[in-house]
């Protein structure tokens, strides 16, 4: 298995200088034993749609890391990529062209091929009896389509199970929403969040493998004194940052920001939750950071918040004031856990009704592929 995303991951890991000891252990690459366990006849048949992309490749990596059981796996992509070969858990697979017939005998289909592909083929897959876990924004706000972060709102999909014979659509939230709510939800459960002000620091990976390549290429060019190549983004990204490239809506928010506003309301099942967001692209490879200001209905002091977050599944607290060690994108790259730190009482609010936190999470992993595979695990 070789892809740009994976190459980038190794490249950055090789150069990184961070203490791995600060992290909980994360699942390692599947052992030969787990390989044998995951390929079994009573397990579901899988399809990965958009397998050649950054998230598609990460689907495979996460499935293997977590020993996800499967009877068969179908690798689907556009006609252009059909015929490409991948070795996955010791077996060779040929990428097939995605068509309306692709989903016969597919129990669970993981989609990450963009919104238009999802809109076209998601309903076809569901009608064929597949449970679709879709990483695009195509169905997220649709009534009847659960929008799920397994640690946050598993109940939203409790009526959907593999083996029922019925297809379904389940939506994976946007990466920024997942990373924000992984940290905010445990605090929300305790003290009820009334309002959130979010500013993001988003990595190249959110725009796909080609965007990561362009950031690397541009950086080399700028260091050589050349004009940077601007294909994916219309402006210089190396040593620069800019407002998220999603289209701007009539209210002045861009689509990325409104995903945070609307998806939070749906996931928390609270139409009154007040959220504002400013989404910014920074020259980082694959993990997002978010500065989150919280206003609560009930008081919550920073020590209790820290203890709550330390116990929260999928969350790691990195909050070492003495050595100025807090979450960074590099430290969470390729990690499952969302890291939270800078937990402190908000000086601009009275009493203990406000907190500031800083959150980092791997955009490709918990922000996309891992969350989708966790949703698939809940189907079993």
> Residues with catalytic annotation?
175, 288
Residue 79 is encoded by which pair of tokens?
Answer: 């006609």
Phi, psi (deg, nearest 5) at residue 362: -70, 120
How many Å apart are CA 108 and CA 95, to the nearest integer?
A: 17
How many Å apart are CA 337 and CA 26, to the nearest integer?
A: 8
Q: Give whichever of 37 and 249 is closer to a second copy, judged by the CB atom.
A: 249
Q: Which residues contact 221 (CB under 8 A, 6 or more apart)?
A: 227, 228, 229, 238
**In the complex, minimum distance from the CB of residue 231 to a second copy, in angstroms, rounded to a whole number:** 12
How many Å apart are CA 291 and CA 20, to the nearest integer?
A: 23
Q: Give whichever of 107 and 213 is closer to a second copy, judged by the CB atom.
A: 213
Closest CA to 373 of 203, 178, 129: 178
Do the Cβ atoms of 169 and 111 come closer than 8 Å? no
**In the complex, minimum distance from the CB of residue 301 to a second copy, in angstroms, rounded to a whole number:** 11
Q: Which residues contact 345 (CB under 8 A, 6 or more apart)?
A: 301, 302, 352, 354, 355
How many Å apart are CA 214 and CA 218, to the nearest integer?
A: 6
How many Å apart are CA 277 and CA 293, to the nearest integer?
A: 10
- The residue whose two tokens read 């946007």 is 174
**In the complex, minimum distance from the CB of residue 200 to a second copy, in angstroms, rounded to a whole number:** 9
Closest CA to 133 of 49, 224, 195, 204: 49
**In the complex, minimum distance from the CB of residue 54 to a second copy, in angstroms, rounded to a whole number:** 16
Q: Give whichever of 117 and 330 is closer to a second copy, judged by the CB atom.
A: 330
In whole angstroms, how far apart are CA 92 and each of 1, 51, 64, 84, 177? 9, 14, 14, 10, 35
């Amino acid at each position: 298995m070789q892809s740009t995303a994976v190459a980038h991951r190794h490249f950055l890991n090789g150069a990184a200088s961070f203490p791995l000891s600060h992290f909980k252990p994360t699942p390692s690459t599947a052992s030969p034993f787990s390989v044998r366990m995951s390929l079994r006849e009573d397990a579901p048949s899988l399809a990965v749609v958009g397998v050649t992309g950054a998230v598609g490749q990460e689907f495979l990596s996460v499935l293997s890391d977590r020993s996800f059981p499967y009877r068969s796996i179908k690798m689907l992509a556009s006609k252009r990529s059909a015929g490409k070969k991948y070795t996955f858990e010791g077996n060779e697979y040929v990428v097939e062209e995605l068509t309306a017939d692709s989903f016969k005998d597919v129990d669970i289909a993981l989609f990450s091929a963009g919104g238009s592909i999802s809109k076209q083929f998601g309903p076809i897959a569901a009608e064929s009896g597949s449970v679709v876990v879709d990483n695009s924004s195509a169905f997220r706000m649709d009534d009847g389509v659960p929008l799920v972060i397994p640690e946050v709102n598993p109940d939203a999909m409790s009526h959907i199970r593999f083996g029922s014979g019925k297809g379904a659509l389940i939506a994976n939230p946007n990466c920024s929403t997942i990373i924000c709510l992984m940290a905010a939800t445990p605090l929300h459960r305790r003290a009820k969040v009334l309002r959130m002000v979010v500013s993001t620091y988003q990595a190249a990976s959110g725009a796909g493998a080609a965007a990561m390549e362009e950031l690397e290429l541009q950086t080399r060019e700028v260091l050589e004194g050349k004009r940077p190549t601007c294909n994916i983004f219309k402006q210089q990204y190396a040593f620069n940052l800019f407002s998220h490239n999603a289209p701007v809506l009539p209210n002045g928010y861009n689509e990325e920001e409104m995903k945070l506003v609307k998806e939070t309301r749906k996931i928390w099942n609270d139409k009154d939750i007040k959220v504002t967001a400013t989404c910014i692209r920074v020259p980082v490879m694959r993990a997002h950071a978010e500065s989150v200001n919280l206003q609560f209905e009930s008081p919550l002091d920073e020590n209790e918040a820290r203890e709550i977050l330390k116990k929260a599944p999928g969350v790691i607290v990195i909050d070492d004031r003495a050595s100025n060690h807090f979450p960074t994108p590099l430290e969470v790259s390729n990690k499952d856990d969302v890291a939270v730190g800078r937990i402190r009482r908000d000086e601009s609010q009275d009493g203990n009704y406000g907190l500031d936190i800083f959150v980092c999470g791997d955009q490709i992993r918990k922000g996309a592929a891992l969350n989708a595979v966790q949703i698939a695990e809940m189907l079993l």
